[in-house]
Structure 1
Amino acid sequence: MNMIDKDLVGASTSAVKSPEPSSLISGGVNRRDFLKLSSLFGAGLMLQFSFIGTGCSKIGEKSQFTPNAFIHIDEDGLVTLVAHKVEMGQGTYTSMPMLIAEELEVDVSKVRLEHAAPNESAYKDPLLGGQITGGSTSVRSAWKPLREAGATARMMLISAAALEWKVDPKSCIAENGEVIHPDSGQRLGYGKLVNQAARLPVPEVIVLKDPKDFKIIGKPVHRLDSPEKVNGSAQFGIDVQLPDMKIATVAASPVFGGKLASVDEDKAKAVKGVRQIVKLDNAVAVIADHMWAAKQGLAALDAKWEDGANAGYTTASLVQDLDKASKGEAAIAENKGDAASVLKGASKKFEAIYELPFLAHATMEPMNCTVHLQSDSCEIWVGTQVPTIAQGAIAQLTGLPIEKITINNHLLGGGFGRRLEVDFIVQAVQIAKEVDSPVKVVWTREEDVQHDMYRPYYYDRISASLDDKSMPEAWNHRITGSSIMARFFPPAVKDGVDPDAVEAARDLKYNIPNVLVEYVRHEPPFITAFWRGVGPTHNAFVVESFIDELAASAKQDPFEYRRKLLVNDTRAKAVLELAAEKANWKQPLAATKEGKAGKGISSLFAFGSYMSLVADVIVTPDNEVLVKRVVCAVDCGMVVNPDTVRAQLEGGVIFGITAALWGEVTFKDGRTEQSNFHNYRLMRINEAPIVEVYVVDSHESPGGLGEPGTSAVMPAVANAVFAATGKRVRKLPIVNSLKA
Structure 2
Amino acid sequence: MTQLTPTRRGFLTGAAGLVIATQLPLAARAQSAAATGSFTPNAFVRVGTDNTITVIIKHLEMGQGAYTGLASCVAEEMDADWSQVRAENAPADASLYTNAAFGLQGVGGSTGLASSYIQMRQAGAAARGMLVSAAARNWDVPESEITVEKGVVRHDASGNSASFGDLAEAATESAVPVEPPLKNEEEFTLIGQKVERLDSMAKSTGASDFTIDIYRDGMLTVAMRHSPKFGGKVASFNPEPALAIPGVERVEQISSGIAIYGQNTFAALKGREAVEIEWDDRGAETRSSEEMVRVWTEAARKPAAVAEESGDLDTALSEAATTLEAEYVFPFLAHAPLEPLDGVIELRDGEAEIWMGSQLQTVDHGVAAQTLGMDQGNIKLNTTLAGGSFGRRAQPGSEFMAQLAEVGKAAGNGAYKLLWTREDDIHGGYYRPLTVHRLRGGLDADGNIIAWDDTIANQSIIAGSPFEEALMQNGLDATAYEGSTRMPYAWPNHRVSWARMESPVSVLWWRSVGHTHTAYATETFLDELLEAGGKDPVAGRLELIKDAPRDRGVLERVADMAAWSGAGTGDKRYGVALHESFNSYVAMVAEVSNQGGMPHVSKIWCAVDCGYAVNPDVVIAQMEGGIGFGIGTAMFNEITLGEGGRVQQSNYDTYRMLRLNEMPEIEVSILNTGNEPTGVGEPGVPPVAPAIANAWRSLTGSTPRRQPFTVALS
- Gaps spanning 5+ residues in structure 2: where? 23-42
Amino acid at match of 1:95: G
Q: Look up the match of 1:427.
A: 403
Kindly state the Cα deviation for residue 245 of structure 1 after the two structures are TM-superposed.
0.5
**Contact 1:56/1:194 (CA < 8 Å) preserved in 2?**
no
Match of 1:556 in 2: 535
Answer yes or no: is the 8 Å Cα contact 1:54–1:199 preserved in 2. Answer: no
Could you tell me how far 1:589 is from its partner in structure 2?
5.6
**Quick one: distance in 1 between partners of 2:481 and 2:603?**
29
Q: Would you say the 8 A contact 2:317–2:442 is kept in 1?
A: yes
Corresponding residue number in structure 2 for 1:66 = 20
Summarize the alignment of residues 41-190 of structure 1 with structure 2, pairs less than 5 Å apart: 51-52=4-5, 62-68=16-22, 69-190=43-164
- SS of 1:600's equivalent in the other structure is strand
1:60/1:412 CA distance change after superposition, 3 Å: closer
Q: Over residues 591-622 of structure 1, what are the superposed CA-to-partner deviations in whole Å (9 max), with x where a residue is unaligned?
A: 5xxxx54221100111111111111222234x
Amino acid at match of 2:209: Q
Letter in 1 for 2:326: A
Equivalent positions of 1:361-372 (< 5 A) are 361-372=335-346
- Amino acid across the alignment from 1:381: W
Distance apart, 1:625 and its partner CA: 2.6
Contact 2:346 2:354 in 1 (8 A): yes
1:346 is displaced (CA, Å) by 2.9
Which aligned pairs between 1:485-634 and structure 2 lie closer than 5 A?
485-486=462-463, 488-586=467-565, 597-621=572-596, 623-634=597-608
Q: How does 1:112-511 map to 2 (within 5 A)?
A: 112-310=86-284, 312-327=286-301, 330-421=304-395, 422-435=398-411, 436-486=413-463, 488-511=467-490
Distance 1:170 1:332, change over 3 A: farther
| Percent of residue pairs identical | 36
Preserved CA contact (<8 Å) 1:625 1:735 = no
SS at match of 1:599: strand
When residues 51 and 336 of structure 1 are mapped into structure 2, their CA distance, relative to the original with a 3 A threshold, is: farther
Distance 1:557 1:56, change over 3 A: closer
Q: 1:711 is paired with a residue of what secondary structure?
A: coil
Q: Output the CA distance in 2 between the equivalents of 1:470 and 1:566.
A: 16
Residue 320 (structure 1) shift: 3.0
Displacement of 1:523 after TM fit? 2.6
1:729 aligns to 2:704 (yes or no)? yes
Give the C-alpha shift of residue 711 in structure 1: 1.1
State the SS of the aligned residue for 1:474: strand
SS of equivalent to 2:77:
helix
Please tell me the residue identity of whatever aligns with 2:499.
V
Rounded Cα–Cα distance in structure 1 between residues aligned with 2:568 and 2:447? 26
Letter in 2 for 1:445: R
Amino acid at match of 1:366: P
- CA–CA distance in 2 between the matches of 1:542 and 1:367? 31
Contact 2:331–2:638 (8 Å) recurs in 1: yes
> Do 1:54 and 1:201's aligned partners in 2 also have CA atoms closer than 8 Å?
no
Equivalent residue for 2:659?
Answer: 684
CA distance in 2, matches of 1:121, 1:399: 21
**By how many angstroms is 1:262 displaced?**
4.1
Contact 2:230 2:506 in 1 (8 A): no
Residue 294 of structure 1 and its aligned partner are, at CA, apart by: 1.4
The one-letter amino acid of 1:492's match is L
The aligned length equals 687
For residues 108-147 of structure 1, the C-alpha deviation after alignment (integer angstroms, 9 at most, x for no partner) is: 2312112111122322212233211111111111111101
Contact 2:19 2:44 in 1 (8 A): no
1:53 CA displacement: 5.1
- Residues 663 and 733 of structure 1 are in contact (CA less than 8 Å); yes or no, is this contact kept in structure 2? yes
1:344/1:206 CA distance change after superposition, 3 Å: farther
Residue identity opposite 2:277 in structure 1: A
In 2, Cα distance between equivalents of 1:424 and 1:49: 38
Q: Is the 8 A contact 2:301 2:438 kept in 1?
A: no
1:271 Cα deviation after fit:
2.3
- For the structure 1 residues 680 and 407, does the alpha-carbon distance in structure 2 shift closer, same or farther, using more than 3 Å as the test? same
Of stretches 176-185 and 143-152 in structure 1, the one that deviates more from structure 2 is 176-185
Cα displacement (A) at 1:333: 2.5
Q: Report how far residue 260 of structure 1 moved.
A: 2.1
State the Cα distance separating 1:103 from its structure 2 match.
Answer: 0.3
Q: CA–CA distance in 1 between the matches of 2:391 and 2:361?
A: 14
1:240-259 deviations in Å (ceiling 9; x for gaps): 11110011111100011212
Answer yes or no: is the 8 Å Cα contact 1:601–1:613 preserved in 2. Answer: yes
Structure 2 counterpart of 1:629, one-letter code: K
1:695 paired to 2:695: no
- Secondary structure of the residue aligned to 1:485 is coil
- Please say if residues 67 and 152 of structure 1, whose CA atoms lie closer than 8 Å, have aligned partners that are also in contact: no
1:659 aligns with 2:633: yes
Worse overlay, 185-194 or 626-635? 185-194
Letter in 2 for 1:509: P
Instruction: Name the SS for the 1:434 alignment partner.
Output: helix
How many angstroms apart in 1 are the aligned matches of 2:568 and 2:143? 64
Distance in 1 (CA, whole Å) between partners of 2:222 and 2:14 is 37
Distance 2:9 2:338 in 1: 41
Q: Which one-letter code corresponds to 1:636 in the other structure? A: C
In structure 1, stretches of 5+ residues that fail to align are 1-47
Change (3 A) 1:153 1:295: same
Q: 2:349 & 2:505 partners in 1: Cα distance? A: 33
Does structure 1 conserve the Cα–Cα contact (< 8 Å) formed by 2:608 and 2:671? yes
Distance 2:15 2:633 in 1: 54
The one-letter code of the counterpart of 1:349 is T
Structure 2 CA distance for partners of 1:60 and 1:612, relative to 1, 3 Å: closer
Distance in 1 (CA, whole Å) between partners of 2:309 and 2:616 is 38
Deviation of 1:637 (Å): 1.5
Q: Distance in 2 between matches of 1:294 and 1:723?
A: 53
* TM-score normalised over the length of structure 2: 0.92
Q: Deviations over 1:157-200 (max 9, x none)?
A: 21222233333222212222232222222223223333443333
Deviations 1:367-411 (A, max 9, x none): 111111244112111111111110101111111011011111100
Q: 2:648 aligns with which of 669, 673, 688?
A: 673
Cα shift readout 1:686-710 (whole Å, capped 9, x = no counterpart): 2111111111233221121111111
Give the match's secondary structure for 1:70.
Answer: strand
